[in-house]
Amino acid sequence: MSSASTRAIYPSLRDKRILVTGGASGIGEGLVEAFVAQGARVAFCDIADEPAQSLVARLSPGAAHPPLYRRCDLTDVEAVRALVAEAETALGGLDVLVNNAGNDDRHKLDEVTPAYWDDRMAVNLRHLFFAAQAAVPAMRRAGGGVILNFGSISWHLGLKDMPLYQTAKAAIEGMTRALARDLGRDGIRVSAIVPGNVQTPRQERWYTPEGEAELVASQCLDGRIQPSDVAALVLFLASDDARMCTGHNYFIDAGWR
Ligand SMILES: NC(=O)c1ccc[n+]([C@@H]2O[C@H](COP(=O)([O-])OP(=O)(O)OC[C@H]3O[C@@H](n4cnc5c(N)ncnc54)[C@H](O)[C@@H]3O)[C@@H](O)[C@H]2O)c1
In this prediction, residue 2 carries a pLDDT of 59
Residue 89 pLDDT grade (very low, low, confident, very high; cuts 50, 70, 90): very high
CATH number, domain of 62, equals 3.40.50.720
Tens-place pLDDT, residues 4-58? 678 999 999 999 999 999 999 999 999 999 999 999 999 999 999 999 999 999 9
Q: Distance from the CA of 111 to the center of ligand 1, in angstroms?
A: 23
Residue 1 lies in a domain: no
| Domain presence at residue 219 | no
> Does residue 6 fall inside a structural domain?
no
- Tell the residue nearest (CA) to atom 1 of ligand 1: 198
Instruction: Decide if 185 is inside a domain.
Output: yes
Q: What's the pLDDT score for residue 202?
A: 85
The binding-site residues of ligand 1, defined as CB within 6 angstroms of any ligand atom, are: 22, 24-28, 45-48, 72-75, 100-104, 123, 150, 152-153, 195, 197-198, 200, 202-203
Ligand 1 atom closest to 122 (CA): 31
Q: In the prediction, which pLDDT does 155 show?
A: 98
pLDDT per position as a tens digit, 154-163 = 999 999 999 9
- By most ligand atoms within 8 Å of CB, the mutation choice from 25, 99, 162 for ligand 1 is 25
Question: What are all long-range contacts of 211-216, with beta carbons under 8 Å and residues at least 24 apart?
Answer: 215/256
Quote the number of domains for the chain. Answer: 1
Answer yes or no: is 138 within a domain: yes
Tens of pLDDT, residue by residue over 71-83, are 999 999 999 999 9
pLDDT digits (tens, 9 = 90+) for 185-238: 999 999 999 999 999 988 888 888 999 999 999 999 999 999 999 999 999 999
pLDDT at 1 over 70: no
Residue whose C-alpha is closest to residue 21's, from 138, 163, 126 = 126
Is residue 254 domain-resident? no
Domain residue limits at 177: 12-200+227-246
The Cα angle at residue 201 between residues 110 and 190, in degrees rounded to 5: 75
- Of the candidates 146, 53, 65, the residue with the CA atom closest to the CA atom of residue 98: 146
Residue type, 164: L
**In this structure, are residues 157 and 257 in contact, taking their beta carbons and an 8 Å threshold?**
yes
Q: For the segment 47-67, what is each residue's pLDDT rounded down to a tens digit? A: 999 999 999 999 999 999 999
Spell out the residues 6+ positions from residue 110 whose beta carbon is closer than 8 angstroms to its own. Answer: none
Residue 208 lies in a domain: no
- 168 is a domain residue: yes
Q: How far is CA 235 from the centre of its chain?
A: 11
The Cβ-side half-sphere exposure at 252, using a 13 Å CA radius, reads: 22
108-123 confidence digits (pLDDT tens)? 999 999 999 999 999 9
Q: How many CB atoms lie within 10 A of CB 220?
A: 9
> How many Å apart are CA 208 and CA 182, to the nearest integer?
43
Q: What is the pLDDT of residue 204?
A: 84
Q: Name the 3-class secondary structure at 19.
A: strand
> What is the pLDDT, as a whole number, of residue 189?
99
Over the range 75-97, which residues count as b (16 or more CB within 10 Å of their CB) and which as e?
bebebbeebbebbbeebebbbbb
